Amino acid sequence: MAVHTRLLALSLFTSLALATPLANPLYSRNLLLQDALKAVPSGFALAGAAPAQTPLKLRIALTQQNPDAVVNALYSVSDPYSDKYGQHLSKAEAAQLAAPSEESVNAVNAWLAEHGLNATTLTPAGDWLEVQVDVSRANTLLAANYSLFTHRSSGVDAIRTLSYSIPAALKGHIDLVHPTTAFPELVQNNVVRGKRAFHEALLPRASSSVCSGGTTPACLQELYHIPTTPATVTSNKMGVTGRFGNNAHYDFLKVFLEKYRPDMSSSTNFTVTLLDGGNNDQDVPSVSEGELDIQYTVGLATGVPVDYIMVGFDSQDGALEGYLDEITYLLSLDAPPQVLTTSYGFSEHSLSFELTDKLCKAYAQLGARGVSILFASGDGGVGCQENSTAFAPTFPSNCPYVTSVGGTQGHAPEEAWGGSSGGFSNYFPRPAYQSPAVSAYLTSHAPAHAAQHFNASGRAFPDVSAKADAFQVWENTTASLFGTSASSPTFASVIALLNDRLAAKGKAPLGFLNPWLYEKGVHGLNDIKDGNSSVECNGQDIGFAAVPGWDPVTGLGTPDFNKLLTVVGL
């Protein structure tokens, strides 16, 4: 079978600043503290000073000339009642809105030149620079004290500093430098093997349903009215994020299609893009996630070209574990995939707001170009923090510019899956597009003592949901997998097929989904009213209940392709 693999470098756009040290070092005096931690983050221990010659790749985020321009453009082209709805931006237009001022570029380059450093521009907008230094020079540049820290439970080492400074003259030109004070957290993949349902379905399941033997493509097609007819527009594509050696095996996909999609050609395949030293080695054992994501996109979005974007361990963005590298790559494309699904995430509190916000704004830039970005909400329910009553929201689901997908279980009726993560961000305020739906929930259904547990004014998630239980995956044997890792590819496949129908009629893709979902798309969704999320935390069983309307377990509900087709006017 033909397998197409593309090796890409992340530094796709390079511009070098003059590296001649200035005679009058204006920027190396009057340093201003940019960020500082009060203590070593929980779970880490100081191991000692970092060796002076250890190489570092510093990412410098420049302040955008108009910080609100990208988000304003995103909403303008995504609000179904806007005159500009569907008029997505080109790569150049989006980059121009996200660009720093010429003054900022010149000032930062002059500072770096004082230290004999060259900056590489990483993004089309020029808002991220990279500088290669060693620890000794980084300490001088940032008045930092880079040290070696070890994560106690995993043994992972990280070179970080507890504080850093920038020249006072660059305040307003630099948003942050990374990696500095943001410590890495192991990224979670949201898939569980062989986990039973958290509670029994409220009503007996119909034994005649094709869902009675577990979740398969046929089950999802019946439940959500997903068509089996192939897509016809080859330019309409879907990207699937892969990480951590979660390789997708071609032979496993072939058997899966033979077993569960006999109406499709078993030679149907996917392309692979490799970032950060990633590989899709076919000789390593399966670890489930890659098989799940590919089998339930290729095998569900019939005929839609799928690209598996495999991000390796050699991430260039520090604590962001390749998230920034992936979005940088996608922004560099003239024609990125119209849908991107990702089944991985962090705890919100593991990253600073500043770093989270920069990445979130990058998602907004991609959304303004017409890309629907979907993330699994997570499998930890409301999230548990040790010795705390506060719930723990997840990232990137907390970002207002992506679509968060929660989980359901069963089929007669469909109800909330107990592990479905959801809640309210402590970083981002509630966006206007979801305010009526979330306000209605809080007015009628807010749990007792809500203020102790969550920030009711924060961005609420998930936005939507799909089945998360008993997905039948082939990995040299049949595995039954649970988690919102299954939900996100499922919902993304529905959007990809809707985009195909739109493209066939000469219409724009759906792009950033949320304003449309809360205003119009909700009429094409199945409202999930039963079940609840559930997680044991500090000796208590806590969670949210699914209720009529939006709720922080299943969002607005699960997709119905036929109804959504009507909503988009087809």
Q: Give mean pLDDT, residues 443-472.
A: 90
Give yes or no for residue 513 having a pLDDT over 60: yes
Residue keyed to tokens 């003592």: 449
β-strand pairing of 238-243 with 339-342? parallel
Q: Verify whether residue 326 is a known catalytic residue.
A: no
pLDDT for res 245: 80
Question: Cα–Cα distances in Å, from 474 out to 279, 282, 292, 489?
Answer: 20, 14, 8, 16
Angle in degrees, CA 434, 437, 443, rounded to 5: 125
d(CA 310, CA 294): 12
Tell me the per-residue pLDDT of 270-290, one tens digit each, with 9 for 90 and over: 999 999 989 999 988 878 899
* Residue 292 buriedness (CB in 10 A; 0-12 / 13-18 / 19+): buried
Query: What pLDDT digit, counting tens, does each position of 22-77 carry?
Result: 334 556 668 999 999 999 988 899 999 999 999 999 999 999 999 999 999 999 99
| Number of other residues whose CB lies within 10 A of the CB of residue 201 | 16
Element of type H or E holding 58 = strand 55-62
d(CA 243, CA 470): 22
Greatest C-alpha distance within the chain: 82
pLDDT > 70? residue 90? yes
Q: What is d(CA 423, CA 384) in angstroms, rounded to the nearest whole number?
A: 12
**Which position has the token pair 């009507």?**
566
> Helix (H) and strand (E) counts for the chain?
14, 30
**Overall average pLDDT of the 404-413 stretch:** 94
CB 502 within 8 A of CB 508: yes
> Which of left, alpha, beta for 66 (phi over 0: left; psi -120 to 50: alpha)?
beta
Residue found by looking up tokens 């050696």 in the block: 245
Q: What's the whole-number mean pLDDT along residues 535-559?
A: 88
Catalytic pick among 293, 357, 379, 463: 293
Catalytic (active site) residue 251: no
Of 342, 336, 399, 402, nearest to 369 by C-alpha is 336
Q: Which is catalytic among the residues 332, 485, 487, 493?
A: 485
pLDDT higher at 543 or 405: 405
Q: Dihedral angle at the C-alpha atoms of 64, 65, 71, 77, nearest 10 degrees?
A: -130
* Amino acid, res. 323: Y
Residue-wise pLDDT for 223-277, tens only, equals 999 999 999 999 999 999 998 789 999 999 999 999 999 999 999 999 999 999 8
Alpha carbon 228 to chain centroid, angstroms: 28
Q: How many CB atoms lie within 10 A of CB 485?
A: 30
Res 16 pLDDT > 70: no
Closest CA to 31 of 111, 142, 189: 142
Fill in the DSSP letter of residue 359: H
pLDDT tens across 481-504, in order? 999 999 999 999 999 999 999 999
- pLDDT tens for residues 304-357? 999 999 998 877 776 677 898 999 999 999 999 999 999 998 888 888 899 999
Provide the 8-state DSSP code for 426.
Answer: E
Q: Known catalytic residue: 289?
A: yes
Q: Are 323 and 366 in contact (CB under 8 A)?
A: no
Amino acid (1-letter code) at residue 276: D
Residue 203: what pLDDT?
34
Q: What is the pLDDT of residue 23?
A: 36
Q: Is this structure's pTM higher than 0.85?
A: yes
Classified as helix, coil or strand, 60 is strand
The single residue of 130, 289, 291, 551 carrying the catalytic annotation is 289
In the chain, % of residues over pLDDT 90: 74
Beta carbons within 8 Å of 75's beta carbon, 6+ residues apart: 82, 433, 515
How far, in Å, are 24, 163, 515, 518 from residue 76 at the CA level?
46, 39, 10, 15
| Predicted local confidence at residue 392, as pLDDT | 85
Percent of the chain exceeding pLDDT 70 equals 89
Task: Measure CA 178 to chain center.
Answer: 19
Say what the pLDDT of residue 187 is: 55
